[in-house]
């Protein structure tokens, strides 16, 4: 399966071109992207394009993923997070691209004062904190619940959940599905993808999950969300992590850090080798990131179509 992430729904031509492309088997909508429409209307507009083509739509809920909720210029203003956190200071903060710094002070749990080069932090931007004893307060956000409710009202039951790290994260989504469907939808009817993006997530995979959790007919599957995962565990730990994820769940999805050469002008041999390596590990399902899908969809989809023609995946 080849999954493309979708752009904001108001970019109608790009949205349509991605969904209609023959190499795209399924699509994913990131609820961290601010929509011009409410959750029900957002999903409805996507379904109007996917349903006639019988292409699955996954809705990616943010859960414990840290994001900036206000625009700001660091270090002059704080980074305001969507969750309150506690962590031993100083701690590392990773922002967009290579932008990083040191968290020196936290006020009110979610106002982070950072020592770094001057830069812009955008509203909705993903933030990663690396430090000892990091704890994130809360789980599913109000917007997540709005999307869950809209999904179930529209008969959509394919979820992705960001930063899954323990059974409580999974249980919270399970309970939300039952509550918002008013008991009419069973978790067993759904598909829930656990996005593994941190060391705690890897510990959960290795120590608490078994192959039985992902057996034939299971509602659950894993995703190696490689961008954030690499930030959290480091490059040296990535080979073992990606191997352990797909060994635990043969239907695992390899996501992010695919075709990154497109950001510098074109697909490289390193990009091709990366895909080949992940296939050697056992990955059969791949997903493009938001950035590649939005900024380089034509080139990415063209490459994938040609690649699959020369190196077909087993059905």
> Which of the 8 DSSP states describes residue 67?
B
Q: Is 75:49 a contact under the CB 8 Å cutoff? A: no
**Ordered structural domains, the chain, with CATH:** 2-64+138-310 (3.20.20.60), 72-136 (no CATH)
For residue 22, count CB atoms less than 10 angstroms from its CB and return exposed for 0-12, middle for 13-18, buried for 19 or more.
Answer: exposed
**pLDDT tens track for 4-39:** 999 999 999 999 999 999 999 999 999 998 899 999
Segment 265-275, tens digit of pLDDT: 999 999 999 99
Cα–Cα distances in angstroms (integers) from residue 157 to residues 4, 160, 218, 274, in the given order: 18, 10, 14, 31
CA triple 217-218-219, angle to 5 deg: 120
pLDDT, mean of residues 225-244: 97
Q: What integer is the mean pLDDT of 291-301?
A: 96
Distance CA 173, CA 160 (A): 10
Tokens 């509602």 sit on residue? 219
List pLDDT tens digits, range 93-147.
999 777 899 999 999 999 999 999 999 999 989 999 999 999 999 999 999 999 9
pLDDT digits (tens, 9 = 90+) for 41-66: 999 999 999 999 999 999 999 999 99
Nearest to 89, CA basis, from 107, 67, 63? 107
Cβ(267)–Cβ(292) below 8 Å = no
Percent of the chain with pLDDT over 70: 100
Backbone angles phi, psi at 284, to 5 degrees: -120, -5
Q: What's the rounded Cα separation, in Å, for the pair 188 and 264?
A: 43
Give the ranges where 186-252 is alpha helix by DSSP (H). 199-207, 226-233, 238-248
């Amino acid at each position: 399966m080849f999954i493309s992430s979708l752009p904001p729904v108001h970019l109608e031509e790009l949205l349509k071109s991605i969904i209609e492309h023959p190499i795209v088997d399924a699509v994913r909508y990131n609820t961290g992207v601010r929509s011009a429409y409410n959750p029900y209307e957002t999903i409805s507009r996507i379904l109007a394009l996917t349903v006639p083509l019988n292409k699955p739509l996954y809705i990616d809920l943010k859960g414990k993923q840290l994001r900036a909720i206000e625009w700001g210029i660091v270090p002059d203003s704080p980074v305001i997070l969507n969750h309150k956190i506690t962590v031993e200071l100083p701690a590392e903060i990773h922002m967009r691209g290579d932008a990083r710094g040191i968290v020196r002070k936290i006020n009110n749990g979610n106002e982070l004062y950072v020592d770094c080069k001057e830069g812009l932090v955008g509203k909705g931007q993903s933030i990663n904190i690396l430090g000892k004893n990091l704890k994130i307060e809360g789980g599913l956000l109000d917007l997540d619940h709005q999307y869950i409710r809209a999904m179930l009202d529209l008969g959509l039951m394919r979820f992705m959940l960001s930063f899954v790290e323990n059974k409580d994260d999974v249980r919270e989504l399970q309970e939300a599905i039952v509550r918002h469907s008013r008991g009419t939808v069973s978790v067993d009817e759904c598909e829930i993808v656990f996005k593994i993006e941190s060391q705690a997530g890897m510990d959960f995979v290795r120590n608490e999950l078994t192959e039985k959790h992902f057996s034939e007919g299971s509602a659950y599957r894993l995703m190696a969300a490689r961008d954030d995962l690499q930030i959290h565990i480091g490059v040296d730990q990535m080979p073992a992590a990606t191997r352990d994820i797909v060994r635990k769940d043969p239907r695992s999805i390899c996501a992010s850090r695919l075709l990154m050469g497109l950001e510098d002008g074109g697909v490289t041999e390193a990009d091709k080798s990366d895909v080949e390596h992940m296939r050697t590990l056992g990955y059969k399902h791949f997903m493009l990131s938001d950035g590649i899908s939005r900024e380089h969809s034509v080139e990415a989809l063209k490459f994938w179509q040609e690649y699959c023609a020369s190196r077909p995946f087993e059905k």
